[in-house]
Amino acid sequence: MQMRPAELAAIRAGDVDVAFRRWERPRVRVGTRMRTAVGLVEVMSVDRVPVSSLTASDARRAGAASLAALRQELDGLHPERPVYRIGLRYAGADPRQALRESVPDAAEIDAIGAWLDRLDRASPTGTWTRATLLLIDELPATRAPDLAQRMGRDTPSFKQNVRKLKERGLTESLDIGYRLSPRGAAVLDHEGHPRPSRGRVAPEPGIPLPHLGAAATRALTAQGVVRLEQVAGLSAAEVQALHGVGPYALGRLRAALDAAGLAFRDDPGAARRGAAAKR
Taking Cα atoms as reference points, which of 127, 116, 139, 255 lies closest to residue 195? 139
Distance CA 106, CA 103 (A): 10
Q: 8: helix, coil or strand?
A: helix
Chain length of the chain: 279
Taking Cα atoms as reference points, which of 191, 211, 248, 256 lies closest to residue 230? 256
Chain centroid offset of residue 78 CA: 28
Query: What one-letter code names the amino acid at 93?
Result: A
Count Cβ atoms within 10 A of the Cβ of residue 110 and give its class: 0-12 exposed, 13-18 middle, 19 or more buried.
Answer: middle
Chain centroid offset of residue 107 CA: 31
Contact call for residues 20 and 85 (beta carbons, < 8 A): yes
At residue 279, the pLDDT reads 43
Query: What one-letter code names the amino acid at 212?
Result: L
At residue 37, the pLDDT reads 76
Contact call for residues 81 and 50 (beta carbons, < 8 A): no
At residue 20, the pLDDT reads 97
Under-70 pLDDT residues of the chain: 197-205, 268-279
Give CA separation, 1 vs 70, 131, 135, in Å. Answer: 18, 32, 30
At residue 261, the pLDDT reads 87
Contact call for residues 47 and 85 (beta carbons, < 8 A): yes
- Other Cβ atoms closer than 10 A to 184: 25
Distance CA 138, CA 135 (A): 5
Distance CA 63, CA 72 (A): 14
At residue 27, the pLDDT reads 95
Q: What is the DSSP letter of 205?
A: P
Phi-psi group of 94: left, alpha or beta (phi > 0 → left; psi -120 to 50 → alpha; rest → beta): beta
Contact call for residues 17 and 260 (beta carbons, < 8 A): no
Q: Residues 123, 156, 212, 98: what is their CA dihedral angle, to the nearest 10 degrees? A: -20
At residue 276, the pLDDT reads 41
Q: 178: which strand partners? A: 173
